[in-house]
Amino acid sequence: MRIEDVASREVLTQNLQKTVEIEIKTKKGIANSIAPINKNGIYRIRSLAAEELIKKFLEIKRYFVNQTFDDIHEVDNFLHDIDISIDFREIGGNLAFAISSAFLKAFAQWEGIEVFEYLTKQPQIPVPLLVVSDKKKTETDFKELMLFPVQEKIFSKSIMRLVDVANKLELNKNMTNEKILRNLASFTTKNALHLGINFGAGDIWNGRRYTYSTGENLITQEQLLLVQDVARNYPLGYIEDPFHENDFISFATLTHRLSTRLVVGNELYSNNFERFKTGIELKSTNGINISPTQMGTITDVISMVKEAKKHKIATVITGEIDDRLISDLAVGLKFDYIKLGVDSISANRVNELIRIENKI
């Protein structure tokens, strides 16, 4: 595929932050992708601000114009050659993702197929994890509360049932942790649903204890017992980040004790391949939350998913990413789950997944 031109323009993200959009032109048409603005962290790839993104793009633009690339892996390897740092600190991991994902769309366009078809010949629709409550909606200590189907194989039926239940929930800011769990649990059995909790334990970890709004200050062993009690008392099938990001051992202990539940690492892995390998070695989790926009390139995402599947670790896709692309990646890379919310952004993703499901 020969590149006729590569351009950028200043645009806004879904949460109205300034960023840039990368546009690739070939004789088959134009493909574009927006650079996400991610929070930076010690284990994460480097995300640059909009002003820096434009400057870095102009510095590397010449490497792509009038060049020919055979596939997405060649493009992504080239991006890693341009920036040899492990965290894309030179050009920005968010710029690398925008370029990589724009090329992915261009390759699919070049072949006259959809992106998910470019990624695989055997697409798979993920199971929806519907976030029905979070800390913004209630004052519980749980970062997110989710519902997901137990057995339903058809995505469209699953999501419609989940939305019906979500619309019946009566949640308010005055609910205690226990009351909101009882409220959600009352809908699970009769609707063939499981409960999911993102504990977001890193947010309540003060370096020595887990501090709850109830006044409880739990040491690690007490936090472990609390999570086990919740799993015993409620139909809990999905557990995300029950401990802080460096406690691989407690994750492993919980995964072993609750072997029939899905224990998922998000902040634990921070989309960092080396940390994920540590988790695999220690058997810390049986699930991983992957945000493609924080991986750098599409090939990096592919590698992470392949590694997870190799070790029979369930994959969950999430993150700030355009609705069409996240649906294509979820299906084309055969993610097991997709995290969705009850909002207009998720509605667009749901509709795109229903369209893909109808096609395949």
pLDDT of the chain, 360 residues: tens digit per residue? 999 999 999 998 877 889 999 999 999 999 999 999 888 888 999 999 999 999 999 999 999 999 999 999 999 999 999 999 999 999 999 999 999 999 999 999 999 999 999 999 999 999 999 999 887 777 789 999 999 998 888 999 999 999 999 999 887 777 888 889 999 999 998 899 999 999 999 999 999 999 998 889 999 999 999 999 999 999 999 999 999 999 999 999 999 999 999 999 999 999 999 999 999 999 999 999 999 999 999 999 999 999 999 999 999 999 877 779 999 999 999 999 999 987 767 888 999 999 999 999
Q: Please, are residues 112 and 29 in contact by the beta-carbon 8 Å criterion?
A: no
Q: Both 149 and 292 in a single domain?
A: yes
- Please indicate, yes or no, whether residues 78 and 141 belong to a single structural domain of this protein: no
Using DSSP's 3-state secondary structure scheme, residue 24 falls into: strand
Q: Which residues pair with 21 in a beta bridge?
A: 9, 34
Residues 97 and 131 in one domain: no
CATH number of the domain to which 296 belongs? 3.20.20.120
Are residues 19 and 103 both part of a single domain?
Answer: yes
Angle subtended at Cα 311 by Cα 309 and Cα 314, rounded to the nearest 5 degrees: 50
> Is position 119 within any domain?
no
User: Is 324 a member of any domain?
Assistant: yes
> How many residues are listed for the chain in this entry?
360
Does one domain contain both 174 and 293?
A: yes
Q: How many CB atoms lie within 10 A of CB 9?
A: 11
Q: Is residue 120 part of a domain?
A: no
Look up tokens 């997901």; give the residue.
148
Say whether both 271 and 165 belong to one domain: yes
- Clarify whether residues 252 and 279 are in a common domain: yes
Domain stops at, among 87, 112, 137:
112
Q: Which two tokens stand for residue 184?
A: 């959600």
Question: Of 116, 109, 95, 110, which is closest to residue 47 (Cα–Cα)?
Answer: 95
Which residue range forms the structural domain that includes residue 218? 127-359
Q: Are 262 and 313 in contact (CB under 8 A)?
A: no
Per the domain annotation, does 10 fall within a domain? yes
Instruction: Report residue 67: phi and psi, to 5°.
Output: -105, 160
- Could you tell me if residue 293 is inside a domain? yes
> Which DSSP string do the residues of 189-234 spell out, in sequence order?
GGGTEEEEEE--GGGTB-SS-EEPTTS-EE-HHHHHHHHHHHHHHS
pLDDT tens-digit readout, 96-126: 999 999 999 999 999 999 999 999 999 999 9
List residues bridging with 5 in a β-sheet: 25
The three-state secondary structure class of 89 is coil
8 Å CB contact between 133 and 103: no
Query: Are 324 and 205 within one domain?
Result: yes
Please report, for the domain that includes residue 35, its CATH number: 3.30.390.10
Residue 351: strand, helix, or coil: helix
Q: Do 331 and 276 fall into the same domain?
A: yes
For residues 238 and 144, state if they share a domain: yes
Which residues have a Cβ under 8 Å from the Cβ of 248 and sit 6 or more positions away?
A: 268, 278, 279, 282, 284
- Give the span between the Cα atoms of 124 and 330, in whole angstroms: 8
One-letter amino acid identity for 138?
T
Q: How many distinct structural domains can be found in the chain?
A: 2
Decide if 122 is inside a domain. no
Q: Which residues contact 347 (CB under 8 A, 6 or more apart)?
A: none
Of 190, 171, 185, 197, the closest CA to residue 235 belongs to 185
Note whether 43 and 272 are within 8 A (CB). Answer: yes
Q: Both 153 and 76 in a single domain?
A: no
Residue 280 belongs to some domain of the structure: yes
- How do residues 182-214 score in pLDDT, each as one tens digit? 999 999 988 999 999 999 999 999 999 999 988
- What is the per-residue pLDDT across 134-168, written as a single tens digit (0 to 9) for each? 877 777 899 999 999 988 889 999 999 999 999 99
Residue where a domain terminates, one of 112, 136, 170? 112
Domain boundary (64, 84, 112) is at: 112
Q: Which residue has the tokens 């190799």?
A: 310
Asked, for residue 238, whether it belongs to a domain, the answer is: yes
My answer on whether 149 and 276 are in the same domain is yes
